[in-house]
Amino acid sequence: MGIAVSSVFKTNENTKTGILISITMFGCFLSGMMGITMKYIIDKNVPILNKINPASMITDGFYSLYYYDTLDRYFFNIVSLIIFTAVMLLISYSSLRRQKYDSI
């Protein structure tokens, strides 16, 4: 996600760091890391949001390891994180391909 934000936003380093921190903190808030009831509210009202939130995928993976006997839900979260990583890399790749360099 850091590579994607860095390649998409053309600002200084401090602004990019602020954007990344705010995205991460908002994702952690929605995944229930600052109050467990928020995770259930989001799951009840907007379940797709927790399916695309990487912080929610990580916490759900840890919860599934602790509570469930099978590893199906855990592997679903791992595959979802791999897909999220691939999407972020594709976004950053397409953004970096459009840049023009003075030396070329």
What is the tens place of the pLDDT at every residue in 53-103? 999 999 989 989 999 888 999 999 999 999 999 999 999 998 888 666 666
The pLDDT value recorded for residue 23 is: 93
The rounded distance, in Å, linking the Cα atoms of 84 and 80 is: 6
Mean of pLDDT values over 3-9: 89
- Fill in the amino acid letter for 57: M
The rounded distance, in Å, linking the Cα atoms of 72 and 68 is: 9
pLDDT at 50 over 90: no
Quick: pLDDT tens for 7-28. Answer: 888 899 999 999 999 999 999 9
- Fill in the amino acid letter for 98: R
Residues in the chain: 104
Whether the CA torsion 21, 22, 25, 31 is positive or negative: it is negative
- pTM above threshold 0.85: no
Answer whether 38's CB lies under 8 Å from 32's CB: yes
The pLDDT value recorded for residue 101 is: 63
Cβ count within 10 A of residue 104: 4
Mean of pLDDT values over 27-35: 89
